[in-house]
């Protein structure tokens, strides 16, 4: 994605009323609809809802479900793993590294192993992205952005001793970002792979989407996108069953202030 995902998001969001700054705290489901409450106390009501919150948010119980989700659903949330892989973007004045896709960092233990992604090969910009994962990524998140960038630069100098210092840097914090609390899901040792499917299965008029609900492509954007399409179609069919033929190309939900807005798109 040479220009990043923003052009994709903007295209998908065209014509929709996306409510930013509306962090959901509670989802109440009833036979005849759902009520979604956000952090500032405002509520939205709808016939059905699609939950595409990241697995880390669900595991942290940042959203209260009323009534509680079934035990099989809560077990799927608990048993799927949530991993961390951060990005430390280093922008250099000029390219001094070989024209390869990756530069690997080899260490005595798995803790120290990581790699640099060469963005120059794809974009033409003199940028390397350090990709620490696991416990190393968690420990780096405890550092300041400046210290994290310096750590990445030290790792680079282990590979290329004559590396020049970066002129700019950008650091992600997926593990501590309250809107993600992790990067993406993984299969935990000894647990069934069908946990992804269990997380996807609807509960009454609640439908679930996101990379952690994709059996075939977990941990990926295309996995998240495909489950979003499935959840939207399942939701559409449920509304059709209840109301018959409707113009469902403009799904809406009502707000207490009588403003109708389309269903939100997950930022994932």
How far is it, in rounded angstroms, from Cα 220 to Cα 218?
6
How far is it, in rounded angstroms, from Cα 45 to Cα 40?
15
pLDDT tens for 177-188 read 999 999 999 999
For residue 2, is pLDDT > 80? no
Contact 33, 45 (CB under 8 A): yes
The reply to whether 35 and 109 lie within a common domain is no
The reply to whether 77 and 102 lie within a common domain is no
Rg, C-alpha atoms of the chain = 21
State residue 265's pLDDT score.
41
State residue 56's pLDDT score.
97
- In this structure, the number of other CB atoms found within 10 A of the CB of residue 250 comes to 10
Please report whether residue 232 resides in a domain: yes
Find how far residue 13's CA is from the centre of its chain: 17
Contact 143, 111 (CB under 8 A): no
Show the tokens assigned to 254. 């009502």
pLDDT tens for 76-118 read 999 999 999 999 999 999 999 999 999 999 989 999 999 999 9
- In this structure, the number of other CB atoms found within 10 A of the CB of residue 133 comes to 16
The reply to whether 121 and 147 lie within a common domain is yes
Domain housing 99: 85-172
pLDDT tens for 110-162 read 999 999 999 999 889 999 999 999 999 999 999 999 999 999 999 999 999 99
The reply to whether 122 and 97 lie within a common domain is yes
Please report whether residue 265 resides in a domain: no
Instruction: Name the residue among 113, 83, 78, 85 with its Cα closest to residue 186.
Output: 83
Give the single-character DSSP code of 133.
B
- Give me the number of domains the chain comprises: 2
For residue 260, is pLDDT > 60? no
List the CATH number of the domain containing 165: 3.90.660.10
Percentage of residues of the chain with pLDDT beyond 70: 91
Measured CA angle at 111 (ends 105, 116), to 5 deg: 30
Contact 244, 237 (CB under 8 A): no
Please report whether residue 266 resides in a domain: no
The reply to whether 70 and 94 lie within a common domain is no
For residue 261, is pLDDT > 50? no
State residue 32's pLDDT score.
83
């Amino acid at each position: 994605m040479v220009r990043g995902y923003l052009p994709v998001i903007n295209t998908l969001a065209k014509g929709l009323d996306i409510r930013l700054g509306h962090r959901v705290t509670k989802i109440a489901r009833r036979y005849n609809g759902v009520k979604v409450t956000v952090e500032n106390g405002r509520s939205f009501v709808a016939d059905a809802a699609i939950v595409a919150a990241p697995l880390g948010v669900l595991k942290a119980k940042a959203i209260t479900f009323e009534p509680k989700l079934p035990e099989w659903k809560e077990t799927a949330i608990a048993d799927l793993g949530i991993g961390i892989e951060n990005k430390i973007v280093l922008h250099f004045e000029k390219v001094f590294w070989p024209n390869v896709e990756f530069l690997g960092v080899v260490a005595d233990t798995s803790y120290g192993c990581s790699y640099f992604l060469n963005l120059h090969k794809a974009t033409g910009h003199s940028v390397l992205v350090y990709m620490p994962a696991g416990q190393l990524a968690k420990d780096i998140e405890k550092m300041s952005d400046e210290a994290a960038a310096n750590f990445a630069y030290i790792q680079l100098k282990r590979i290329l001793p004559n590396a020049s210092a970066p002129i700019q840097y950008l650091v992600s914090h997926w593990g501590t970002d309250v809107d993600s609390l992790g990067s993406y899901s993984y299969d935990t040792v000894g647990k069934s792979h069908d946990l992804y499917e269990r997380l996807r299965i609807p509960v009454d008029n609640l439908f679930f989407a996101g990379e952690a609900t994709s059996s075939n492509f977990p941990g990926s954007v295309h996995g998240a996108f495909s489950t979003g399409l499935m959840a939207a179609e399942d939701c559409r069919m449920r509304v059709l069953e209840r109301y018959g033929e409707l113009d469902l190309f403009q799904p809406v939900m009502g707000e207490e202030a009588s403003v109708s807005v389309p269903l939100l798109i997950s930022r994932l």
